[in-house]
Amino acid sequence: MENQAFHYGGKSDRDVVKAKERFREMYYPSSGEWRSEIVRQTAEQFPVLFARFSSLN
C-alpha cells in the first residue's frame, strides 16, 4: 500500500497518510512496551557484539 501510494498516490491525501502510518507501524511500532524491550535487548547484546568485533583480526 505504501509503495502504491508513493508511486501513484491514493484516492485522497488521507489514504496516503494512512498507508505511510501503517508502513511505519510495521517496522517501528508505536508501542512503548515494544520500544523498551528493544532498548533492553540492544543493551544486552552490545557487549557481545563489541567482544566479537574486537576479536577480529
Write out pLDDT tens, residues 15-28: 999 999 999 999 99
pTM of the model: 0.62
Show the cell assigned to 44.
544486552
CA-derived radius of gyration, the chain: 18
> Quick one: pLDDT at residue 27?
92
Mean pLDDT of the chain: 93
The domain locations on the chain are 2-54
- 56/32 Cα distance (integer angstroms): 36
| Residue 38 confidence class, pLDDT cut points 50, 70, 90 | very high
Mean pLDDT of 27-56: 95
Contact 19, 1 (CB under 8 A): yes
> Quick one: pLDDT at residue 3?
87
